[in-house]
Amino acid sequence: MTGPLIVTPGDPAGIGPEVAVAALRQLDQPALLVGDAAAIERWSGPLPRLSRVEPVAGLAILEPTGDPVELASVRLAAEACIAGRARALVTGPIHKGRLVAAGHATTGHTELLGSLCGAEPVMAFVGGELRVALVTTHLPLMEVGAALTAERIQHTVRTAAHALRTHLGLSRVRIAVCGLNPHAGDDGALGHEEQTIIGPALDPLRTDLDLLGPISAEAALLAARRGEVDLVVAMYHDQGLAPLKAVDFGRSVNWTLGLPIVRTSVDHGTAYDLAGRGVADPSSMVAAVELALHLSG
């Protein structure tokens, strides 16, 4: 694909601009930085300013119109990727709570990109040997059980399998699917969702996919670490991401599945307490850029 790699540093008051510039310079990777110019140039020094998305030989900046700048940047970048004018999108962190408090109806990049692309994306993370996709994302834990449906589970599994085949070239896709309850319900003693929702949702998919589950989360993630499966499907956010980030925090990557564009992101937040000090670790942004380049071929 022609066109530049686009990096949106995210919240200009967070560590996104710092880690974006540091990662791109570490990799010696040309990119178009779309975001707050002053925040970016604080770490990069003066850079060429562009008025539209176009190929770049080094680093350049495009500052979008619109407030807040972090959301305007994602919109502009996504539109360029959809139109084929950019290779891929890598995003820095935004602060969901601050945006919602300011009256913006978004809970995160994944939901915003789904709306912009007219797709139903799946949030996934890659960390070391682990890949995890989520059936539910930013939901209060008390609401997860009610949100589980056969359609939602099947969509997550199918979308993950398609991404593994299309982007990673896996001919045989092996997926472990977590249960919701401790010990995957222990045959109904600790909960019924495995027997009434998750298991029946998986049965029609077993003809085409190599599925393991529903099984306990610890068994699913252990199978992934041993290389026995290619991806784990978790029922809720912390079930899948807490162990993955505990093992590889700061180097794992958020990979949005099911979009017509390639989008990756860092695995951390805005870290306001570190912002401006020059001590933020760019490792996750490095990994996010490398994965975006690999996926976009």
Residues 114 and 237 in one domain: no
Here the CATH number for the domain that contains residue 11 is 3.40.718.10
Cα radius of gyration (the chain): 19
Measured between alpha carbons, how far is 167 from 133 in angstroms, rounded to an integer?
Answer: 15
Beta strand residue intervals within 85-145, DSSP E: 88-91, 122-127, 130-134
Mean pLDDT, rounded, of the chain: 94
Residues 17 and 99 in one domain: yes
Is residue 109's pLDDT more than 70?
yes
Across the beta sheet with 122-127, what order do the strands follow?
A: 59-62, 31-34, 5-8, 88-91, 263-266, 253-257, 122-127, 130-134, 231-234, 174-178, 210-215
Residues 178 and 71 in one domain: no
Residues 216 and 226 in one domain: yes
pLDDT at 290: 97
Query: What is the model's pTM?
Result: 0.93
Residues 126 and 250 in one domain: yes
Is residue 171's pLDDT more than 70?
yes
The dihedrals phi and psi of 174, each to the nearest 5 degrees, come to: -115, 120
Residues 111 and 141 in one domain: no
Is residue 265's pLDDT more than 80?
yes
Looking at the chain, the whole-number percentage of residues with pLDDT higher than 70 is 97
Residues 285 and 204 in one domain: no
Residues 7 and 110 in one domain: yes
Residues 63 and 154 in one domain: no
Residues 80 and 15 in one domain: yes
- Helix, strand or coil, per DSSP, at residue 127: strand
Residues 275 and 223 in one domain: no
Between CA 54 and CA 75, with CA 297 as vertex, the angle to 5 degrees is 45
Domain containing 278 equals 1-121+259-297
The more confidently predicted of residues 215 and 128 is 215
Is residue 165's pLDDT more than 90?
yes
**Secondary structure element (H or E) that encloses residue 201, with its range:** helix 199-202
Residues 116 and 263 in one domain: yes
How many domains does the chain fold into?
2
Q: Which residue from 124, 79, 105 is spatially nearest to 260, judged by alpha carbons?
A: 79
How confident is the model over 21-34, as a mean pLDDT? 98
Measured between alpha carbons, how far is 142 from 192 in angstroms, rounded to an integer?
Answer: 16
